[in-house]
Chain A
């Protein structure tokens, strides 16, 4: 999958690239409206990440131009402005998603994955996880033929960890994924722990869940 990151803050662009590379995306960087426009004219991408606040032009304008040269790409708008109108305008102009800075990198990847599922109709087969099978589209967890009842948030948590398997996710990354960047001032909470405890309890009835690891002082990880 080819990704074009159009972001004028170079450090930020590099960090995104670094993260996405590990998830096996091919990344291309542009740091201005002009660079981004040129690259879009020359190449075809699967994903285009556009920062709205470019120094030499409006991100929205770039989006509408890009849609002509790269009609099949998925577009994600990145912005520090965080205005509601921007979000609405972006989605109206055909962006597939919108992320307000600062966002967690696993969140970016998960949004890209979600677009893939929706837009490119990437149908994943049942994903095996220990003795269990997970259907991400229908949102079910199976043990052999038996369906296991998980709450919406528990399933979100499990599938998020699964998407980033072999990578430790912090409680902050997990809770922002589940509760969004809702303005709320309790950051250090153990609600994630409570949900993990519930997932383990529900699954342990059928089979051991040693693949779901607690990384002391850091967070959680699914090891496969």
Chain B
């Protein structure tokens, strides 16, 4: 899952959870608020009554009677004042029920006793519970709506902000990782961002790529220099042996030994040449300006390699159905690439086997496929066939393991893709896809 999706999901989820909790608690909270407010207003009324009594005397209420009671019209509220026994002491607010004109009504009642003129009085101020909770539902609904709107708004803001925030990250991924191909030749500037972490990431990636390039460059230089430096000593040895071979004094046995040595030297020579070729390709020392007809190229190769086909009596079948011409390519390198593939197809083929060469046009890309009826490659070996000096299984005719390494470096250089498919015991096919 992408980081931005995760962030959005998390933010939305946590917000919804908090809102859910709040909604569950809402009735209780609103009830609590209403109760507190009622208590507060009851106390206020109590204060007012006591002020009146202090100012105007208790008779202001009693008017000669020994008790006073007053209800509002709908019996929502009432005030009662009466004399009670001296021993009664009260100062409470609680919910009780009162019977008023045959109706049982739930009230919240403030009861308060006080001394006045050596008498003990009880003041009761009541408010119906129904009137207290009258606005709770409406309030709850209103709070809910406001909340939903606020949440929606904040999620939208979060979405926009996170996208903006994460943007440099996706730019870094795209520019540095997805779209960059080894070796990282193309230089891009730094990504613009004010986030410290992204800046650090970007800089680290750039310096890492530079380090890889540098290491690769060193390796390439070493390979080129080493294989190049080998050439002179190999030259000397080879020419010395050639002269030695023609010495009159050399006996037949000695001559045979010299030829054996020459064979070994020949191996060294070909390995050095192959490595030199690979490093030369990697150094881009070849132009890409040729135009090639695949049919002509393949015919040239088959003519060059016909002795090997004859030796194993292998049938080669070139069947190109698309009349395609390849441009911006290097003839010698493409020749070498297909030569190596066909040579491999012969080398790992059986006697009287066959090789099929066909072309395809898929998703707009042209490709040429070389398939053989050889021994095949095990699935676990396929990823390694292009590695240098990698030899798989069959030692008798394995060569030096550089043929396919050369194929790979040519393919990289010419922007070709190579797909390998193989069924052990039935054959292997190499598909060269021209993506340029």
Contacts and interface: CB of A to CB of B under 8 A. Distances in A.
A170 B238 CA distance: 12
Contacts of B343: 184, 186
A186 B239 contact: no
Contacts of B246: 22, 167-168
A61 B304 CA distance: 37
A41 interface: no
Interface residues of A, number: 45
B228 interface: yes
A19 B307 contact: no
A16 B239 contact: yes
B279 to A, nearest CB: 11
A22 B248 CA distance: 12
B153 to A, nearest CB: 68
Contacts of B242: 15, 19, 104-106, 173
Interface stretch (A28-36, A67-75, A205-213, A215-223): A215-223
A204 interface: no
A105 B240 CA distance: 10
A43 interface: no
B413 interface: no
A152 to B, nearest CB: 10
Nearest to B257: A217
A12 B239 contact: yes
B218 interface: no
B308 A179 contact: no
Contacts of B234: 101-102
Interface of B is mostly: helix
B399 A83 contact: no
Contact of B236 (A11, A184, A190, A195): A11
A188 B263 contact: yes
Given A11-B240, A183-B336, A80 B228 contact: yes
B214 interface: no
B245 A170 contact: yes
B263 A82 contact: no
A170 B242 CA distance: 9
A172 interface: yes
B239 A217 contact: no
Contacts of A219: 259
A185 B402 contact: yes
Contact of A102 (B267, B269, B403, B406): B269
B91 interface: no
B232 A183 contact: no
Contacts of A173: 242
Nearest to B240: A15
Most chain B beta carbons < 10 A, residue from A85, A172, A191, A195: A172
B426 interface: no
Contact of A9 (B228, B232, B273, B339): B232
Given A83-B285, A184-B343, A102 B304 contact: no
A65 interface: no
A12 B236 contact: yes
A202 interface: no
Contacts of B339: 182, 184
A84 interface: yes
Contact of B259 (A16, A85, A170, A185): A170
A77 to B, nearest CB: 14
A185 B277 CA distance: 13
Contacts of B256: 216-218
Contact of B245 (A103, A168, A187, A188): A168
Interface string B152-173: 0000000000000000000000
Given A11-B240, A80-B231, A185-B274, A179 B304 contact: yes
A172 B263 contact: yes
A158 to B, nearest CB: 16
B274 to A, nearest CB: 5
Contacts of B285: 83-85
Contacts of B273: 82, 181, 183
Interface in A1-54: 9, 11-12, 15-16, 18-19, 22
A179 B347 CA distance: 18
Nearest to A176: B266
Given A19-B243, A183-B273, A191-B308, A102 B259 contact: no
Contacts of B311: 190-191, 194
Contacts of B228: 80-82
Interface in A62-116: 80-85, 101-106
A105 B259 contact: no
A103 to B, nearest CB: 8
A115 to B, nearest CB: 20
A185 B231 contact: no
Contact of A105 (B243, B280, B399): B243
Contacts of B386: none
B277 A183 contact: yes
28 contacts: A12-B232, A15-B236, A15-B239, A19-B242, A82-B273, A101-B234, A102-B235, A170-B259, A170-B262, A173-B242, A183-B274, A183-B277, A184-B339, A184-B403, A185-B274, A186-B347, A186-B399, A188-B263, A191-B308, A194-B310, A194-B311, A195-B307, A216-B252, A217-B259, A218-B245, A218-B255, A218-B256, A219-B259
Given A11-B240, A83-B285, A153-B307, 5 more contacts: A15-B243, A82-B273, A101-B234, A194-B307, A217-B255
The 10 closest A-B pairs by CB, nearest first: A102-B235, A217-B256, A185-B399, A15-B239, A80-B231, A101-B235, A191-B307, A185-B400, A102-B234, A187-B266
Interface of A: 9, 11-12, 15-16, 18-19, 22, 80-85, 101-106, 153, 167-168, 170, 172-173, 179, 181-191, 194-195, 215-219
